[in-house]
Amino acid sequence: MSAVTEGNRFMRNELSGLFSPFSCKSLDLASRFVMSPMTRQFSPGGVPDENVAEYYARRARADVALIVTEGVGVDHPSALGQGSMEEKDIPVLHGEHAMYGWREVVDRVHEADGKIVPQLWHMGALRQEGTGPYPEARSLGPANMGEEEISDVIAAFARSAANAKALGFDGIALHGGHGYLLDSFLWEQTNTRDDEWGGDPTRRLRFPVKLVEAVRDAIGPDMPIIFRISQWKLQDYDARLADNPEDLGAICKALASAGVDIFDVSTRVFSKPAFNGSEMGLAGWIRKLSGCPTMTVGGIGFDKELAASFTEQTTAIDNLAEVVRRFDAGEFDLVAIGRALLMDPQWVRKAEAGEPFKPFDISAYSRLD
């Protein structure tokens, strides 16, 4: 392992590209390392408190350039609900108390020289009816949404995005993957409508495109919009949003034209080839097809992917050589770290210095360290 010294800091020079700056619209980052969104359920009544502020600030102080928050419920009664005791502890981005809490979070991250964006979230039909902050609300998906509900949900995302801008967030992230509402409109298995909101690939795009356009109108031209996209769904890990590059390109180009600036490409393993005939991962294909910067995530820092890590022995590893190889090949622009940063807030600094990482610890999911 070779190294250089910057000031008083030791750096593995093979990682120098990952510690180079990145800019997109008004967002300027000191490095390419991002904290991936992870549901935490530590915001009582939907309000992030001091513990949440410190949780994010701790990672910003340790050189995580950009924080993408846990999923945040948009301003619609059907947005959240999982059927657990903590179902009301997922944060929202509306209401006086939640807004005050998020302002504290934003200020603390900025004081630590970090940047932060909220991931706006609607669970769609994956929400369990009778649960969440508004148990009386019915769960919504492509099959049962009328024109008024479609308009209301789009407006809810726009309001929440405007709230985020008012609080000083550095951009907007939209959860468009994993089978949640936006993704369910894109996926042919869940969007079986035969009207203007579904029925063929072009019409399946209409809802997420209109929603992105509404968010862009709400926040103006300068703030970046980050869109999480995935092949896999929570209800089907082997699902495919697109079976070939042409179909994937149509989706990503439409979203980019609507206002998406960066694609957050969620995979189980970042290095897994996306299509036959090429070793390139999904982030690389989306970057190539859309012309937009991409963020890779999935399996960095551990020898098991997310689902397997809950049932199998999981070991912390340094697999940054493969990250660097693909970064240098132009597959992605940003590197998002999930579980590894959950276990070890100092992970980026340790990566930089070549120090050992903390071991996998499943109990970290029940703490806000």
Instruction: Count the helices and strands in the chain (H runs, E runs).
Output: 11, 12
33-35 and 334-337 beta bridge pairing: parallel
Domain boundaries, the chain: 20-338
State both tokens at 170.
């550095």
DSSP state of 13: G
For the chain, residues with pLDDT lower than 50 are: 1-8, 85
Residue with tokens 């940047």: 115
237 is a catalytic site residue: no
Looking at residue 82, what is its pLDDT?
80
Q: What is the total residue count of the chain?
A: 369
The residue type of 201 is: P
Question: So what CATH class is 20-338?
Answer: alpha beta
pLDDT given for residue 209 in this prediction: 98
Q: Which residue has the tokens 């957050």?
A: 264
- Candidates 7, 8, 13; CA nearest to 352 is 13
Please report, as a single letter, which amino acid is at residue 359.
P
Per residue in 86-119, pLDDT (tens digit) is: 557 999 999 999 999 999 999 999 999 999 999 9
Catalytic pick from 55, 134, 180, 237?
180
Report d(CA 297, CA 265) in Å as an integer.
Answer: 7
Question: Distances in Å between the alpha carbon of 364 and those of 62, 150, 173, 314, 359?
Answer: 18, 37, 24, 14, 11
* pTM reported for the whole predicted model: 0.96
Q: What's the pLDDT at 87?
A: 59
Closest by CA position to 302, among listed 264, 263, 341? 341
> How many Å from the N-terminal Cα to the C-terminal Cα in the chain?
31
